[in-house]
Every structure is written in structure tokens, then in C-alpha cells.
Amino acid sequence: MGSAFTIFKRHLHSNNMRMTHQRDHLFHVLLKSSHPLSIEQLIPLVDSHFVSVYRNVQELRKVGVIKQVPLGLKYSYELSDMFKPHHHHISCDGCSAVSGIDDEEIERLIDSAAVRAGYRPTGHSLEMRGICRNCRVTD
Amino acid sequence: MGSAFTIFKRHLHSNNMRMTHQRDHLFHVLLKSSHPLSIEQLIPLVDSHFVSVYRNVQELRKVGVIKQVPLGLKYSYELSDMFKPHHHHISCDGCSAVSGIDDEEIERLIDSAAVRAGYRPTGHSLEMRGICRNCRVTD
DNA sequence: ATTCGTGCAAACCATTTGCAAGAGA
DNA sequence: TCTCTTGCAAATGGTTTGCACGAAT
């Protein structure tokens, strides 16, 4: 069958990359996380040398396992659509909480806007900001 | 009247910031540019010390004159909606050309998705990728 | 056995900071 | 004049690289 981890292993193999403890661990940290993580957040969570975190995030991004997403003023990382259904994020200006957003219609509209501009769409990144319920009350 | 530059000057003044050659120049470089520029691109274009470019980009971002946009794998900078009508970008995976996108309906949908998720929307960033006409032919 | 990947130290380089001199208001 | 901003030099710190050892296939 095709669990995320099985797909991951196959994907590594087909790219002549080895499955190591470090990559296994990195993958599972990202799989379990409910929101994207910055390198800074990743380093203490993944038990491997920080240099390996950098290298593996890069390598896995190159082969499409990991996706870079702009969150706040810096980039964070999450598993690609290959492992998590395509979605977007909204982060609260007040408390920085992050929620997932999943809206079919937005996707369609984004792609059709790309086509209208003369492009064959290959992807996009959409990040939203707002004030969450809690922070609206606590003002 | 309210040309972009006049608004800029007023905005600086109301934030106790001085109008200097360097800021004037930075502002005009961004105003004339058809697409966002990275710090790296900005430094040779703006005739001031690179430290001042860093500082001014930061300061002007804090007071809402400049906006940071994720382009490709890094961030670039452009004037905020205060000076250029709100829009998004699509960049070609092949030649890196950037075009502007302006679609009212997407805007509405993005905001309504935010509301549905329980947030009062304050902003968003949307960057698209695709293959442009030229690059589709030249394959 | 043969790569490929890791850890460590060192190098790198983009960005930031401290401070004295210069410029705007 | 008074304060903000600039330029320069130096410090900083996140990221990358070189290399020998260790691990995966």
C-alpha cells in the first residue's frame, strides 16, 4: 500500500538517495507537525547535526519532498502535496497561531488567472494574515 | 495633489523620518521597477552605501511603504499598495520573467476564506509559478 | 565493497551594529 | 541647533564547504 512513509522511501530510492536515520526523523517531524517549521525550529527537534538538517532540507526540497513556504518574515518548511493535501495557511497578527485553509474554488481561480496571463500554471504559494477570534476579544 | 512621491513625503514626515537623497532614490527605483527587487539587486541600483539600503528597506517596511514578497526562493521588495495598486505576480519556471496579476475575484475569495476560518483578514501574499509562452515553444 | 551521508571544524558571506561625521528640519 | 541618517569598519551569526569517518545498499 502507499502510506506517506512508503512513498517517501520509494521517492528517495528513485532519486538515488539513501534512507538514513536523520532523514527518517526529519520526515516524521514534518509529518507530525500541524504547521510549517523554520530551520531554527527544526534543528532542536530533529536529532541530527544542524549541518545535516540544512543539507537534508535542501536535498529533499530539490526532489520535491519538502516545500518552502513564506511565513511571516521568513521561510518555513513543510511536506509537499505529495504527502499532505494541498492547502494554505493563515497566521494571526496577534498571537502568530497558524491555521490551515483548504478552498477548492481559490485553487481553480488562481490557475485560471495564470492561464489568462499566458502561463501554464505549475504551482503557487498563498499565505494569509489576519486577527484570530481570541485576539479580537483580548484587545 | 497626491502623487506617489507626495504621499511618500507626507508619510515619512508623519513618522518622524527625514527625507534624504538615499530614501528618495530608493523610492524612485522601486517606483519605476516593473517587478519586485531583491536587496542584492537593489544595492547596485541605489546610489547609497549598502548598509543604508538594508536600513532603509527595513525602516520603510516597518512604516508600510515597502512590502516584502516571496519570489522564487528568496524575498524581494516592492512598494506597498499605498503606491501601487494591489496585485500579485507570476514568475516563469523557465526564464524567471515576472508578470503582474490583478484579479478582483481572487481577492474577494481569499478574504472570505479567511473569514470562514475565523479571522479578520489583514493581508495576504500570493505568488504563482508557471511556464510562459516563450518557454513553452522553446522546449 | 562502494558509494553516499554525517559530523565536525573552518570558511563564508549576507546582514547588523557602534560610532563619528554629515545632512535635514 | 538638534536630532536623524549616513558611511565606514568591525562584529555577528546563519549557512555552506572540505574532509575523514561511518553507514546504507
Which of strand C's nucleotides are less than 7 A from any protein C-beta?
A: 4-9, 14-18, 23-25
Cβ A129 vs Cβ A91: under 8 Å = yes
* Shortest distance, CA A133 to any CA of chain B (angstroms): 6
Closest residue, CA to C1' of C7: A49
A24 CB and strand C closer than 7 A = no
The pLDDT tens digits of the residues spanning B65-101 come to 999 999 989 999 999 999 999 999 999 999 988 999 9
Q: Which amino acid is at A9?
A: K
Q: Alpha-carbon distance A104 to A1, whole Å?
A: 27
Number of other CB atoms surrounding residue A116 within 10 Å: 10
Task: Kindly state the average pLDDT of the residues A92-99.
Answer: 91
pLDDT tens profile A52-83: 999 999 999 999 999 999 998 999 999 999 99
Contact B72, B90 (CB under 8 A): no
DSSP state of B82: T
Closest to B99 in 3D by CA, of A117, A115, A127: A117
Residues contacting residue A11 through CB under 8 Å, at least 6 positions apart: A63, A64, A65, A82
The answer to whether B82 touches B11, Cβ cutoff 8 Å, is: yes
CB contact under 8 A, A126 and B130: no
Contact B123 A103 (CB under 8 A): no
A8-67 pLDDT, tens digit per residue, is 999 999 999 999 999 999 999 999 999 999 999 999 999 999 999 999 999 999 999 999
Is a pLDDT exceeding 90 seen at residue B115? Answer: yes
